[in-house]
Amino acid sequence: MTTTVRADICVVGGGPAGSTAARRLALLGHSVHLVERAVFPRRRLGDSLAPGISQVLGALGHHAPAGLHPAELFARWAGAEHHAPTFVADRGVFDTFLLDQARTAGVRISQPALARRPRRHDGDGGWRIEVRQADQRFDLECRFLVDAGGRTGLLRGNRRRAVTRTTALYGYWTPSAWEGPDVRVEAGRDEWLCATLLPDSTVDAMVFVERARCMGLARDARSRLYRSLLFTSDLVGPWLGTQLTGTFACDATSSITEDAVGRDWIKIGEAALTLDPLSSQGVQTAMTTAMQGSAAVHSILRRHATASTAAAFYRSYLQRIARLHEELAAEHYSRQRQVEHRQFWIPRAVAPSGSRTVAGAVGSRPEEARPSPVPHSARTS
Ligand SMILES: Cc1cc2nc3c(=O)[nH]c(=O)nc-3n(C[C@H](O)[C@H](O)[C@H](O)COP(=O)(O)OP(=O)(O)OC[C@H]3O[C@@H](n4cnc5c(N)ncnc54)[C@H](O)[C@@H]3O)c2cc1C
C-alpha cells in the first residue's frame, strides 16, 4: 500500500529558489514539504555571483552564508580591460547551507527523492505527487505546488526564448600555476569565455557559442572545439592544467515561462525565468523570484480576496525582470559588436521588441537590474 504524506505546500527542487521559498513559507506558518532528487553537496553551474547577492542574502537574514567567497573579476570586453569585486560560490556548500536554513525553519525535506507526475486531487482541489525515494514510494498531498525544479522544471508549459540560441560548453580543470583574478571573462571573435577558480582549487571553464555552431557535432568534435576556443584565450588557456571531466554542453539561452502562476501552483527560479549567464545574476534572481513568489503564494492561500492581484503582481514582476535583463545583455553585446562586427554579436546586440532603448534608460531602472559598464557587474578600472 502507498503511504500518503500531507502538507499545505509541496516545493519541488532544493536549489537556491526552492530552499528560499520553502523557508519563507514555513516562517509564514505553512506546513511545507520539499523534495530534492540530488544528494548534496553537488556541483552546479553558476559559481560566479555578482555583488548584489549579498543584499539578497542580507534581506533573507543570512549574514554569514557558507560557501560564498569574495573574489576578483577581470574582464576583457569591447576592447577594454576591467577589474571588479565579485563572489565565487562553492555551490555544493552554498546550496546545502540554504537547504539547512529551510530545514531549521521547519521544512520537511525528502532527499534524495524524485517528484513525479503531479496530478489533481479529487474533491476539494490540490495536488497528489508521487515521490520515489530509494526503493520506496509515497504520495505527497498538498494544497499548493511550487515548481522550483530548475530549467527542466516539473510542470509543463510554453516558454518564450531569446531568438538567438546560446550553448554553453564547459568542463572542470586543474589550474596550472594560476595567479591573479579568480574569475576571468573574455569576449572572443564569435564566442565569449568565463573561467572561475573554485574554492576546491578546480577551474570551471565555460565557452558560450551560437547553438548552430556545435549542433550535430559528435562528442569528440565538440570537445575539440571547446578546447581550441579556450586555448585561443591568453587570459584562460595558459592557466589550465588537466581537464578533469568530459566536455559538457547545455542550453544557456534566456527564457521566460508563459505561465508563471495559477490558483494552486507557481513556478520560481529557473523554472520560471532563465537569464543570459553574462549577468552572473542567475542565482540572486532565482532567490528574488522565490521571495516574490512566496509572498504571492501566501496571499493566495491566506487572503482569497487578493489572490488574483498577488498572481498578477508576480507575473508582471517576472516580465519586468526578464525585459530588464534582456536590455542589459543587449547593451553589453552591442559594446562588443562595435569592435567585432560579426554574426555572433550582431543579433545579440539588439534588445527584443517591446524593450525600451537601452541608452538613457539606466537611471530609471530598479536597483535589482541596474546595468554595470561591463559584464558580470564589473566596473572599469
Ligand atoms: C551555463 C550556465 C552558466 C551559469 N552561470 C551563472 C553564474 O555565473 N552566476 C549565476 O548567478 N548564475 C549562473 N547560472 C544560473 C544558475 O545556475 C541558476 O540561476 C540557478 O542555479 C537557479 O537556481 P534554481 O533553484 O532555480 O534551480 P537549480 O539550481 O537548477 O535547482 C533545481 C533543483 O531541482 C531539483 N529537481 C529538479 N527536478 C526535480 C524533481 N522532479 N524532483 C526532485 N528534485 C528535482 C534538481 O536536482 C535541482 O537541485 C548559469 C546557468 C548556466 C546554464
Distance 241 CA to ligand 1 centre (A): 27
Indicate which atom in ligand 1 lies nearest the CA of residue 270: 26
Answer yes or no: is the C-beta of 282 below 6 A from any ligand 1 atom. Answer: yes
Q: Does ligand 1 lie within 6 Å of residue 60's CB atom?
A: no
41 preceded by cis ω (within 30°)? yes
Q: Which residues does 312 contact at the CB level (< 8 Å), separation at least 6?
A: none
Question: How, if at all, do strands 273-274 and 255-257 pair?
Answer: antiparallel
Determine phi and psi for 279, rounding to 5 degrees: -80, -25
The reply to whether ligand 1 has any atom less than 6 angstroms from the CB of 46 is yes
CB neighbourhood size of 110 (10 A): 21
pLDDT score of 374: 52
Sign of CA pseudo-dihedral 304, 319, 183, 41: positive
* CB distance 371 to ligand 1 below 6 Å: no
Residues 6+ apart with CB under 8 A from 221: none
The pLDDT of residue 372 is 53
Instruction: Please tell me the predicted confidence (pLDDT) of residue 122.
Output: 67
The amino acid sitting at 144 is F
Strand 127-133 with 68-77, pairing: unpaired
**Nearest ligand 1 atom to alpha carbon 154:** 41
pLDDT, position 379: 36
Q: Which of 108, 138, 140 is nearest to 127 (CA)?
A: 140
CA distance 231 to 203: 14
Q: What's the one-letter identity of residue 274?
A: T
Domains (range + CATH), the chain: 3-45+91-159+255-318 (3.50.50.60), 165-251 (3.30.9.100)
Tell me, in angstroms, the distance from the centre of ligand 1 to residue 202's CA.
20
Residue 67 contacts residue 33 (beta carbons within 8 Å): no
pLDDT tens, the chain, 381 aa long: 789 999 999 999 999 999 999 999 999 999 999 999 999 999 899 899 999 999 999 999 999 999 999 999 999 999 999 999 999 999 999 999 999 999 999 999 999 999 998 998 766 679 999 999 998 999 999 999 999 999 999 999 999 998 899 999 999 999 999 999 999 999 999 999 999 999 999 999 999 999 999 999 999 999 999 999 999 999 999 999 999 999 999 999 999 999 999 999 999 999 999 999 999 999 999 999 999 999 999 999 987 678 889 999 999 999 999 999 999 999 999 999 999 889 999 999 998 765 443 332 222 333 344 345 456 553 332
> Measured between alpha carbons, how far is 82 from 339 in angstroms, rounded to an integer?
16
Distance of alpha carbon 154 from alpha carbon 129, whole angstroms: 11
Span from the CA of 79 to the centroid of ligand 1 (angstroms): 32
- The reported pLDDT for the residue numbered 268 is 98
Three-state DSSP at 219 gives helix
Cα 302 to Cα 234: distance, rounded to the nearest angstrom: 57
Q: CA 182, CA 127: separation in Å to the nearest integer? A: 45
Probe target for ligand 1 pocket from 37, 154, 196, 203, with the most ligand atoms within 8 Å of CB: 37
Which residue's C-alpha cell is 509543463? Answer: 156
Ligand 1 midpoint to CA 17 (Å): 8
pTM: 0.93
